[in-house]
Amino acid sequence: MQVKFVDLGRQYQDLRSEILDTVDKVFNSGWYVLGPNLEKFEEKFAEYCGVKHAIGVGNGSDALYLILASLGVGPGDEVITAPNSFVASAAAVDRTGATTVFCDVGEDMNLDPSKLEEALTERTKVVMPVHLTGRIAKMEQISQFVKRHGLLLVEDAAQAVGAKQNEKRAGSFGVAAGFSLHPLKNLFVHGDGGMITTNSDDLASHIREFRNHGLRNRDEAGFWGINSRLDEVQAAVALIKLKHLDHWNARNQEIAKAYSKALKDFVRVPEEEAGEIGVYHRYMIRTNQREELAEFLLSHEVETKVNYPIPLHLMPASNKLETCSYPMCEQLSKTILSLPIYPTMTDQEVHWVISKVKQFFYK
């Protein structure tokens, strides 16, 4: 049996006629940008996340940039974030002219609130936790730190659509949050897409102009903005998919549970704390035999990935930053392995993965 790391075509097959019908309607309408589908999706996404506003943008990277720049983050400012993220988290900060300051992560692979103090300087303006693997960072402690020091809290929720902590959804904890609708995310469109959530009326209206060239009306720009909009076709497709998201996330949770139950005696499995509902964008195990296990699984046609093998502070792109070492992040980068997890995985495939991991350790 072959188990791919992701299989996006299967989800498409399940929704094919609805998607094709919808795309056809949008194409026929002649209205492709900033139209009724985007408006509707923004309304539904805000409702889903439990916030006042949602704004559709071109991708998750632009979402983070638009938020930070709209908050006035720029040269001379510092943004604290996690070093074990996708490159976009640090790149978004850099694009504003501000400096990324990394802070080590904890056992949950997310920002360690007890380390934030070390990263703080008089230039710190924002703390931006990344909800890695679809698990929300320790928001209560992070929020307290942010309040204590008069900072702003921005969530990089790119991987965490639908995740909950104490009944609050990802995207509703800070001043704003950025989501990605990239094909590898739990809620994805067929190309690039991103969303911003916020409860602030002022921030929302500024970002709405910013993503549309800075235009306040058809002819007049209040400031120079960028062109980063979720188009009508993608918004219409996202509207279809949003209806299925909870059900898909529940299937991911079911698979994660099966993995954890079967594998906990062989590898370190993700743990959930009380009040936490992760959406398992990735299911990451930890083992000192990472390379050997990955190779063994591949020889049995089970694809795995490492998210991410190079911490951000060790990338050439970070050369100009004054970075220290972040021991937990570095250790994780050498031991983590992501197993296949997606809602359309069959029980047989899940059991095949489990049996092959076990077989490796029994060898």
Ligand X SMILES: Cc1ncc(COP(=O)(O)O)c(C=O)c1O
Cα–Cα dist 137/151, whole Å: 17
Query: Which of 133/212 has CB closer to ligand X?
Result: 133
Alpha-carbon distance of 351 to 349, in angstroms, equals: 5
Residue with smaller CB distance to ligand X, 104 or 156: 156
Please give the Cα distance from 354 to 348 (Å, whole number). Answer: 10
Task: Round to whole Å and give the CA distance between 170 and 262.
Answer: 28
Comparison of 55 and 350: residue with beta carbon closer to ligand X: 55
- Please say which residue, 61 or 100, places its beta carbon nearer to ligand X: 61
- Residues interacting with ligand X, by CB under 6 A? 59-61, 85-86, 88-89, 130, 156, 158-159, 180, 182, 192, 194
Closest approach of ligand X to the CB of residue 327, in Å: 21
Q: Residue 320 Cβ, how far from ligand X at the closest point, in Å?
A: 21
Asked if 344 contacts 3 with a C-beta cutoff of 8 angstroms, the reply is no
| CB 184 to ligand X: min, Å | 7
| Residue nearest ligand X (C-beta atom) | 60
CB of 183 to ligand X, least distance (A): 9
Residue 129: which of 150, 99, 160, 166 has the closest Cα? 160
* 317 CB-contact burial (10 Å; exposed 0-12 / middle 13-18 / buried 19+): middle
Q: DSSP label at 327?
A: H
Give the nearer residue to ligand X in terms of CB position, either 88 or 256: 88
Tell me the C-alpha to C-alpha distance, in Å, between residue 171 and each of 29, 154, 201, 352.
32, 9, 15, 35
Q: Give 58 or 340: the residue with its C-beta nearer to ligand X.
A: 58
At closest approach, how far in Å is the CB of 248 from ligand X?
A: 18
Angstrom distances, CA of residue 76 to CA of 55, 99, 104, 110, 145: 28, 7, 22, 26, 21
In the complex, least distance from residue 218 CB atom to ligand X, rounded to whole angstroms: 28
